Amino acid sequence: MNALTVGARTLALDKDGYLADRCDWSADVATALAAAEGIELSPEHWEVLELLRAFYDEFQLSPATRPLIKYTALKLGVDKGNSLHLNRLFKGTPAKLAAKLAGLPKPTNCL
């Protein structure tokens, strides 16, 4: 997938399916990216996506899994900031998939 069509817009994606320009991100874009992954976004998903975007704004990078878990626990509590919860929401690849749905670059230390 090298492009994503959302409404009348066609957005460029990189070779891994991440947005080429994070400024193209919107809730509709996140919903379309999630649908392509077979996910219907719930309020729990949105909570993590918004948190990830705040993390990126603060640190200018997409976190790998361990920092994502720690940051989520810090901001949302240990009930949500744990690997079981995040793996359930993001199909066992929370750092990569959540970053993709949040319109962020692929975490640099994820294969």
Task: Examine the residue annotation and report whether 110 is marked as an active-site residue of this protein.
Answer: yes
Q: What DSSP element (H or E) covers 4?
A: strand 3-6
Tell me which of 6, 20, 32, 110 is the catalytic residue: 110
Contact 63, 55 (CB under 8 A): yes
Cα–Cα distance, 42 to 49 (Å, whole number) = 11
The catalytic residues are: 110
